Amino acid sequence: MSILNDLKARFIGDQATLALDDIQALILRSRPEPYVGVHAMLHIDEAAGGRALLGRMAEHVPSAAGWTDDRDAWMGLAISFEGLKALGVPQASLESFPLPFQQGMAQRAEQLRDTGANAPEHWDDAFAPGACHIALTIYARDDAALALALDQAMKALDESSGVTLVGRHAFGADEEAKNPFGFRDSISQPLVAGSGVAPLPGQERAIAAGEFILGENSETGKPVAMPEPPELGRNGSYVVLRKYESQAGAFNDFIRGQAHASGGDGGADEELLAAKLVGRWRSGAPLPLAPDHDDPALGADPQRNNGFDYSRDPRGMVCPHASHMRRLNPRDSQLSILTDVNIHRIIRRSSTYGPKWRRELTARDDRGERGIYFIFISARAYDTIEFLQQEWINRGNFIDLGTERDPLVGLHDTPGTFTIPQQPVRRRIDGVGTFNRLRGGEYLFMPSLGALRWIAGGGWQ
Ligand code: HEM
């Protein structure tokens, strides 16, 4: 069963306490499998025209109330700080937003450790500082549904004045929903309290809704700061959008080389090493439940594929502390630097673009055509991404690994290492590269449906 269908099956409408009819569906609705879609980045040249377009687009953004309905296509919409400014939102409201949002992603490069190969000077034009005002995402079940939805959106754009399309990028994956490295992804998502979705067997407790939805109580017992006025802030959220160009061939070469260097005979050793780097096998089966070989039935089963913690693997002998999955959600692991993992949980809505991964790819095939739009949603999105980039991705102190970085998304200006705990001595692998290069991104605000109408109608006037 796909992740979306499993979620739908666990939804008990009358148990939802959130204002679902005001929240954008994308916050609760996961991708279909297979999926196709488009990201579009718009620039507002003139406030009235921009507001008119927003009003027209808002009609096509479904609410979370109907998120379990069968839909051929749906849209999510988010606005940058410069976008709110260009739409004419008053200064007092603008100043009530978090400082990192006001500055925008490029200006936060230092806090995000977006330097070297990932620095803003290498980004696409659509993400030049101040270029992306509105980010529009359309997800669809198939190409025909996407064409229809896209037609509608482009018609709204053509009928508008004062808005320019600065970037457009198609994405999609087949029913295996695999990313550019050949791994199934977007599996582990937090359970949002009050959403009406029942927990999975063995799933950790629901995370307070205010971690994801502005105006609701967070894990601290009260809401996180909300932009003003409440008509603008309430039931909205924040979005981090980062476009990565994946070096899938270089990643393949690295794995082949390491498996060969350890005297392995290819195939099985490569797959085990790839799983150790990620924390899951390519099918999505997690190492803690499938330590020795892939188990595609487990990987494809939402009832089982996330039902684990690390209590039986405190030393990382099965799933290395340094693996991408364990770093980004250490669950019950004992960390050297104490952190409340529940305030760093994120809803991921990433989308893969480019041709499908193949085992034969080498670095020579890395021509910038494959990658991921990494998208996450959280009421603390900026604090969380900057914390993750600084501590859990580009350092290793919290797991006693000094300067070792995340093997998938860490920035490696010089080749890095990866540590695999094993008996009698741990194995340390060299040659980890920057396998995902950042090609742009923006900090965005995802307004509620009421707030979209409020902005479109110039509610402050
Ligand atoms: C851009 C390239 C990336 C790739 C190819 C990638 C791939 C994956 C894969 C294969 C998984 C395991 C399956 C799953 O649970 O979805 C995963 C999990 C995860 N990733 Fe990434 N990821 C990327 C970027 C990021 C970034 C930039 C972050 C955070 C800032 C991140 C945060 C997470 C989290 C939180 C999990 C779930 C961990 C858990 O709950 O067990 N990923 N990723």
List pLDDT tens digits, range 253-264.
999 999 888 776
Q: Whose CA is nearest to atom 19 of ligand 1?
A: 325
Q: Whose CA is nearest to atom 18 of ligand 1?
A: 325
3-state SS, one letter per residue, for 46-80:
CHHHHHHHHHHHHCCCCEHHHCCCCCCEEEEEEEC
How far is ligand 1, taken at its centre, from the CA of residue 183, in Å?
10
How far is ligand 1, taken at its centre, from the CA of residue 324, in Å?
7
Average pLDDT, the chain: 93
CB 377 within 8 A of CB 238: yes
Q: Is the pLDDT confidence value at 214 over 80?
A: yes
Q: Whose CA is nearest to atom 27 of ligand 1?
A: 409
| Residue 413: exposure state from Cβ atoms within 10 A (0-12, 13-18, ≥19) | exposed
Q: Who wins on pLDDT, 176 or 256?
A: 256
pTM for the model stands at 0.95
CB 4 within 8 A of CB 29: yes
Residue 296 token pair? 């595609």
Q: What's the average model confidence in pLDDT over 324-335?
A: 93
- Residues having CB closer than 6 A to ligand 1 are 179, 181, 183, 185-188, 244, 278, 280, 324-325, 328-329, 346, 372, 374, 385, 388, 408-409, 436
Q: What is the number of the ligand 1 atom nearest to the C-alpha of 385?
A: 30
How far is ligand 1, taken at its centre, from the CA of residue 128, in Å?
25
Q: Is the pLDDT confidence value at 2 over 80?
A: no
Q: What is the number of the ligand 1 atom nearest to the C-alpha of 345?
A: 35
List pLDDT tens digits, range 301-323.
988 999 999 999 999 999 999 99
Best CA proximity match to 127, nearest among 74, 167, 97? 167
CB 447 within 8 A of CB 79: yes
List pLDDT tens digits, range 15-29.
889 999 999 999 888
CB 308 within 8 A of CB 286: yes
How far is ligand 1, taken at its centre, from the CA of residue 257, in Å?
24
Q: What is the number of the ligand 1 atom nearest to the C-alpha of 183?
A: 10
